[in-house]
Structure 1
Amino acid sequence: MEGNTHLPKIQMSVLSPVEEKQAMLAAIIASTDDAIISKTLDGIITSWNPAAIKMFGYTEEEAIGKHISLVIPNDRIDEENFIISQIKAGVKVEHFETVRVAKDGEFLFLSLTVSPILDGDGKVIGASKIARDISERKRALVKQAMLASIVAASDDAIISKTLQGIITSWNPAAERLFGFKEEQAIGKHISLIIPDDRLDEETYIIGEVSRGIKVDHFQTIRKTKDGKLVPLSLTVSPVIDESGNIIGASKIARDISAEQASQQETARLYEHLKVLNAKKDDFIALASHELKTPLSSMSAYLQLLARLETDAKNKTFVDKLQSQLTKLSSLVDDLLDVSKIEAGKMHFAKEDFDLREVVEEAIDLIVHSNPGYSVTFECLSSKCAIIGDSHRIEQVIVNLLTNAIRYSPDGNSLKVYLVEEDDQIKVGVEDYGIGIAQEKLQNIFSRYYRVDEGNGKVSGLGIGLYICHEIVRRHNGKIWAESKLGEGSTFWFTLPR
Structure 2
Amino acid sequence: MQEYRHIFDAAPDGMLVVDHDGLIVQANAAALALFGYGADELIGKQVDLLVPRRFGAHAGHRDRYVAAPRTREMGGGLSLFGQRKDGGEFPVDVMLSPLEQGERVLCVVRDISERKRIHDERARLAAIIESATDAIIGKDLDGTIQVWNPSAELLFGYTAAEAIGRNIAMLIPEDLVEEEARIMLRIRAGERVESYESVRRRKDGSLVEVGLTVSPVRDANGEVVSASKIVNDLSHRRRMERQFRQLLESAPDAMVIADASGVIQLANSQAERMFGYAAAELIGQPVELLMPQRFRGRHPGHRKDYASAPRVRPMGSGLELFGQRKDGSEFPIELSLSPLETDSGMLVSSAIRDISERKRAEKLTLDSLHEKEMLLKEVHHRVKNNLAVIASLFYLQQRDLSDPDMIRVMQESQDRVRSMAMVHESLYNSDSMAEVDFADYADNLARQLIDSYSRDDHIRLTTTLEPVSMSINTAVPCGLILNEIVANAVKHAFPDGRAGSIHLSLSQPDPRTCVLEVRDDGTGLPDGFDPAGGHSLGLHLIRSLTRQVDGAYEFLPASPGTLARLTLHVPPRKPATG
Q: TM-score range by the shorter chain?
A: 0.5 to 0.7
Out of 286-295 and 48-57, give the one that drifted further. Answer: 286-295
The answer to whether the 8 Å contact 2:17/2:106 transfers is yes
Q: Which residue is 2:134 aligned to?
A: 156
Q: Deviations over 1:179-207 (max 9, x none)?
A: 11111111122122222222222112111
Matched, 1:313 2:423: yes
Aligned partners of 2:358 and 2:18: how far apart in 1? 101
Q: Which residue is 1:60 aligned to?
A: 39
Q: Which residue is 2:233 aligned to?
A: 255
Q: Which residue is 1:188 aligned to?
A: 166
Q: How many residues align?
A: 309
Distance 1:109 1:279, change over 3 A: closer
Q: CA deviation at 1:309?
A: 3.0
Distance 1:109 1:30, change over 3 A: same
The answer to whether the 8 Å contact 2:17/2:26 transfers is yes
Within-5 A mapping of 1:123-142? 124-142=102-120
Aligned partners of 2:112 and 2:69: how far apart in 1? 26
Q: Which has the larger radius of gyration?
A: 2
Q: Please list every run of 5 or more consecutive structure 1 residues that lacks an aligned counterpart in the other structure.
A: 1-21, 326-371, 373-408, 410-455, 462-497
Q: What is the one-letter code of the residue matched to 1:110?
A: V
Within-5 A mapping of 1:272-351? 272=251, 273-274=253-254, 275=270, 281-310=355-384, 311-316=421-426, 322=432
Matched, 1:238 2:216: yes
Q: Which residue is 2:9 aligned to?
A: 30
Q: Deviations over 1:69-107 (max 9, x none)?
A: 211001123244224412321222222441111122322
| Secondary structure, aligned partner of 1:109 | strand
Distance 1:197 1:45, change over 3 A: same
Q: Which has the higher contact order (CA 8 A, sep 6+)?
A: 1
Within-5 A mapping of 1:11-90? 22-90=1-69
| Secondary structure, aligned partner of 1:309 | helix
Out of 96-105 and 206-215, give the one that drifted further. Answer: 96-105
Aligned partners of 2:233 and 2:434: how far apart in 1? 61
| Secondary structure, aligned partner of 1:149 | helix
Matched, 1:174 2:248: no
Q: CA deviation at 1:146?
A: 0.8
Distance 1:457 1:42, change over 3 A: farther
Q: Which residue is 2:197 aligned to?
A: 219
Aligned partners of 2:204 and 2:366: how far apart in 1? 66
Aligned partners of 1:460 and 1:266: how far apart in 2? 37
- From 86, 93, 100, the equivalent of 1:111 is 93
| Secondary structure, aligned partner of 2:196 | strand
Q: What is the one-letter code of the residue matched to 2:423?
A: K
Aligned partners of 2:125 and 2:183: how far apart in 1? 24
Q: What is the one-letter code of the residue matched to 2:379?
A: L
The answer to whether the 8 Å contact 1:83/1:93 transfers is no
Aligned partners of 2:59 and 2:359: how far apart in 1? 95
Distance 1:278 1:57, change over 3 A: closer
The answer to whether the 8 Å contact 1:36/1:52 transfers is yes
The answer to whether the 8 Å contact 2:427/2:433 transfers is no
Distance 1:86 1:460, change over 3 A: farther
Distance 1:146 1:285, change over 3 A: same
Q: Deviations over 1:363-422 (max 9, x none)?
A: xxxxxxxxx9xxxxxxxxxxxxxxxxxxxxxxxxxxxxxxxxxxxx9xxxxxxxxxxxxx
Aligned partners of 1:308 and 1:161: how far apart in 2? 99
| Secondary structure, aligned partner of 2:55 | helix
Q: What is the one-letter code of the residue matched to 1:103?
A: K
| Secondary structure, aligned partner of 1:188 | coil
Q: CA deviation at 1:305?
A: 2.3
Aligned partners of 1:139 and 1:104: how far apart in 2? 21
The answer to whether the 8 Å contact 2:70/2:97 transfers is yes
| Secondary structure, aligned partner of 2:73 | strand
Distance 1:246 1:299, change over 3 A: same
Aligned partners of 2:151 and 2:23: how far apart in 1? 55
TM-score normalised per structure 1: 0.57
Backbone CA RMSD of aligned residues: 2.9
- From 175, 185, 189, the equivalent of 1:197 is 175
Distance 1:242 1:318, change over 3 A: same
Q: What is the one-letter code of the residue matched to 1:305?
A: V
Q: What is the one-letter code of the residue matched to 1:85?
A: R
Q: Deviations over 1:48-70 (max 9, x none)?
A: 00110121111111100111121
Distance 1:211 1:51, change over 3 A: same
Q: What is the one-letter code of the residue matched to 2:221?
A: S
Distance 1:193 1:316, change over 3 A: farther
Q: What is the one-letter code of the residue matched to 2:180?
A: E
The answer to whether the 8 Å contact 1:162/1:248 transfers is yes
The answer to whether the 8 Å contact 2:373/2:433 transfers is no
Distance 1:288 1:457, change over 3 A: closer
| Secondary structure, aligned partner of 1:73 | coil
Distance 1:299 1:232, change over 3 A: same
The answer to whether the 8 Å contact 1:93/1:115 transfers is yes
| Secondary structure, aligned partner of 2:92 | strand
Out of 152-161 and 275-284, give the one that drifted further. Answer: 275-284
Q: Deviations over 1:260-315 (max 9, x none)?
A: 33334334434424149666625523532442442243233223224323033345
| Secondary structure, aligned partner of 1:130 | strand
Q: CA deviation at 1:177?
A: 1.0
Distance 1:312 1:212, change over 3 A: same
The answer to whether the 8 Å contact 1:91/1:116 transfers is yes
The answer to whether the 8 Å contact 1:88/1:116 transfers is no
Aligned partners of 1:269 and 1:319: how far apart in 2? 55
Aligned partners of 2:364 and 2:205: how far apart in 1? 60
Aligned partners of 2:431 and 2:215: how far apart in 1? 77
